[in-house]
Amino acid sequence: MLTAVNWTLWLVLYSFAGWAYESVLFTIVTGQWVNRGFLHGPLCPIYGTAAILTIALLYGRKKNVFFLFFVGMVMATGLEYITSVVLEFFFNTRWWDYSARPFNIQGRVCLLGAAVFGTMVVLLARLVHPQVEKITERIPIGIRAALAIVFVAAVTVDFVLTATRII
For residue 2, what pLDDT band results from cuts at 50, 70 and 90?
low
Contact 104, 161 (CB under 8 A): no
Kindly give the interhelix angle for 45-58 and 111-123, rounded to the nearest 10 degrees: 60
For residue 141, what pLDDT band results from cuts at 50, 70 and 90?
very high
SS3 state at 104: strand
Residues 6+ apart with CB under 8 A from 17: 47, 51
Whole-angstrom distance, CA of residue 94 vs CA of residue 104 = 15
The domain locations on the chain are: 2-147
For residue 62, what pLDDT band results from cuts at 50, 70 and 90?
confident
Whole-angstrom distance, CA of residue 89 vs CA of residue 11 = 24
